[in-house]
Structure 1
């Protein structure tokens, strides 16, 4: 007996991006690529919290009990709620044309119904339209006229606790109507594809747009060492120009091919298999006055803000690490992690002013983040504003120094500190840390400070230790990178090897 398949709005939109992705999702639902890591799970959890909060905007609504393991069980209760005269139904579920959908909110309006799709974003995005359109298609197939489709998203102008509405409803009916003519045919094509063997689909731009495919590694051809796509900031037109000339790797680029200075440095490093240091580095370093403070912030960007004056996804500094390098080579360290449950900014500001006292230069990696955090703290904590604004004027970007003067083949086109450190300081790589990336750190900090009730008390001290270790490592690494620059920048600034 032939197996039958069922689409859903998430499956349908996955199929729009790539039939091959959809085939794997349906035929291999337990594939390891589909298991979210901690950071991605935090994103899913955030979406669920926003959805739960959005339900409060629909008082007296009927909530359909929805179990993702048995979604079709929700269809009958939905029909019963409609027949009983419910005017607003949450998780209203329908199954038509082999497509199952659960509508976030379905509201009666006149002789028709309004579909409200909730998204944990601050604006309507192009990828939201197919998602809403497939719901409208199925609801109308179920016999309910749809008079409007709304996308309900977070309001970036909202300030906690009550300045401006938390949510905005955008009418996307026209965009949905324009897309709906494609749904029936695409759904049939997807169902036909699922009944067959794994389809052949060439890798392309769709592999990462609108989302990165979880099965990317299955399809991607082995990348050549130092491929031309590693050139930092290269645009598609220039990339096509290189490839049309038969140039696939950086070392194949002819010496007379016009290159940006950074790309020329990249090419030289690959050809010479060594670290390249450009003239002028010594002069740049000479401008930095001691003591030099290496500063790193960690922030929380809660979708649902909990501190006064904060906006949805507004980054709030809650933790910092400062390693201070003195002219005699001595290094001191200060760190701070907010302890909650109140607004963390006054504590962060006071501790930071003390930690930066006496520093003549402040270095950060990707300093725009640290500058923004200093500005936000100055605005939120007027008693510390003069010292914080003075500190802001001392900030410089260590990443820019590297980008303008050095290149190592093992950077592979990226100046992320996670790429630079393994190449230049292999003994200080992040692999052994329990928390090893900023996205996960932010998610854990949000849980620790915004939702501490979700964490057993016994888990909090180890988590605080792990978060402190991560932030401390960032600035300790910057100290060693800065020292390395000093050893690689004699006044003559020759091009030299890292070995």
Structure 2
């Protein structure tokens, strides 16, 4: 089609957007409330299960490596900005015949005569028309991604724009970054043609408009009232929705039969037991299960004498160690791959011959690959003798093995560290139980039960108008280009303080175990 003969499409009044479709697909009541009485969405917070993978400082550079002719449009905020972005997009699309396959537009804005406007992640040229791509810093897409691409395709068709293909641009985990900004090959295209036909977008738009103009719908069966998984945040319409959602009646997790494992718990429930307090000790054959049952029955922690005996076989000088790692979707350092687990910080409390504690640590402070410096400083601090305590130590051991394989000059010294690492998780599991752990052996649960005053596992720092709830988020932000140096220093200091609290808490746990 000759776009020069096309009447420019104005921004529609009260337009529908991709987020509207997502809300409507999740819950028609939520969609209706948003359209008729919008409220500000609640900010999401990364909790204990925070994703250890981040986008990476080279994400835009990586996309440009695949599409050297990339034109990026800013995100429009107002109706005037939307109209300007739509006009620019139309002018860019007119010139497609003169472009090669390296040409692309990121953030192309298009509106339809049905009152829908969309911002397309990536539009590029194919042999027989446009290619629409949803860019994901991930290895797989979601249903919401497919819906979004279907909506883009529909809007393009309403503008009589020929689309050759529509799909996802995903991370290829086999890619190894050679350095020097050479990211060609990082992404792989996934054609969504086989599934887009199952999305009747035109019918959805009609239904959405009818819903908006109608009465407040009832809550559909299966509506995600607590959390919208596709957005990763609670439904912002819970309060105006006015529903009284009954909380399920749950057994007290501190007394749950599941503390002794799901399989045994199922057997005990079949036998008529309700919680662990009712189960006779002779019914539990494993020592750690009987220990947990005693703690639950008396409401007090139980510590076996074997803990102190085991620690007495591990003379000093002692060290208490923790690692922080990160995985980048777009690898920033040569020789690394997408999502590879990369260490960037270690913290250690070192016991001197006089019993005094010295705090040591390493934190990457530049955008270069820190792993050799990380490993060299670790070897120097840990020395050649004495136990090194870590919680769930398989994690630290695996990182040390990877460093030993990577750096031949440090390999012997790193390998020599492995047999010295003592897993505090194993010590606790074999000798200790606290009712407040509620069957969980996660580090967060153990800290909360044994050293609640330490707050060792909590992390929160505000910097440059943003709030970070995990060390990896803070570290990734400190690498961002243009981040104010003073704010980057603030983030790094928060990381150091967090590591020190963690190591101090590990020392306190060791002291508790020695009291038996």
Give TM class, smaller chain: 0.7 to 0.9
Query: Cα deviation per residue 1:111-137 (whole Å; 9 max; x = unaligned)?
Result: 432111111124445654333333223
Q: Deviations over 1:124-158 (max 9, x none)?
A: 45654333333223323333343322321233233
Match of 2:66 among 40, 57, 60: 57
1:278 and 1:406 in contact (8 A); partners too: yes
Deviation at 1:320, TM superposition (A): 0.9
d(CA) in 1 for partners of 2:206, 2:259: 42
Q: Is the CA contact 1:17–1:209 (under 8 Å) kept in the aligned structure 2?
A: no
The worse-fitting range, judged by mean Cα deviation, of 471-480 and 172-181 is 172-181
Instruction: Please give the per-residue CA displacement for 1:403-454, whole angstroms capped at 9, x wherever unaligned.
Output: 4543323224433323322322122124886559996211222333x34x52
C-alpha separation between the residues in 2 aligned to 1:242 and 1:11?
48
Distance 2:157 2:335 in 1: 42
Q: 1:385 offset after TM fit, Å? A: 1.2
User: Could you tell me the TM-score, scaled by structure 2's length?
Assistant: 0.75
- Match 1:144 to one of 161, 182, 185: 161
Gaps (5+ residues) in structure 1?
Answer: 490-499
- The 5 A counterparts of 1:419-498 are 419-430=445-456, 435=461, 440-448=470-478, 450-451=479-480, 453-487=481-515, 489=516
1:381 is aligned to 2:407: yes
Is 1:30 the equivalent of 2:46? Answer: no
Alignment partner of 1:342 is 2:378? no
Q: Distance in 2 between matches of 1:16 and 1:245?
A: 44
| Residue 396 (structure 1) aligns with | 422
Could you say which structure has the higher helix fraction? 1
The answer as to whether partners of 2:58 and 2:332 remain within 8 angstroms in 1 is no
Give the stretch that moved more between structures: 470-479 or 410-419.
410-419
Q: Trace 1:61-460 onto structure 2 (pairs within 5 A).
A: 61-70=70-79, 72-73=82-83, 74-85=85-96, 87=99, 88-96=104-112, 97-124=114-141, 128-162=145-179, 165-177=184-196, 179-181=198-200, 183-194=201-212, 196-197=215-216, 199-200=218-219, 207=227, 209=229, 212-215=232-235, 221=247, 224=250, 226-227=252-253, 231=258, 250=275, 269-277=295-303, 281=307, 284-285=310-311, 288-325=314-351, 330-430=356-456, 435=461, 440-448=470-478, 450-451=479-480, 453-460=481-488
Aligned residues: 479
Q: Is the 8 A contact 1:93 1:100 kept in 2?
A: yes
What is the match of residue 493 of structure 1? none
Q: Which structure has the larger Rg?
A: 2
Find the counterpart in structure 1 of residue 8 from structure 2.
Answer: none
Cα distance change of structure 1 residues 167 and 406 upon mapping to structure 2, 3 Å threshold: same
105 and 411 in structure 1: CA distance in 2 versus 1, 3 angstrom threshold = same
Does the aligned pair in 2 maintain the 1:293–1:359 contact within 8 Å? no
Could you say what secondary structure the match of 2:453 adopts?
A: helix
In structure 1, distance between residues paired with 2:56 and 2:20: 18
* Structure 1 residues 38 and 45: alpha-carbon distance in aligned structure 2, compared to 1, 3 A threshold: farther
SS state at 1:444 partner: helix
- Shift of residue 211, structure 1, vs aligned partner: 5.6
The offset of 1:104, in angstroms, is 1.7
Does the C-alpha gap of structure 1 residues 127 and 408 become closer, same or farther in structure 2, counting only changes over 3 Å?
farther
CA shift for structure 1 position 479: 0.9
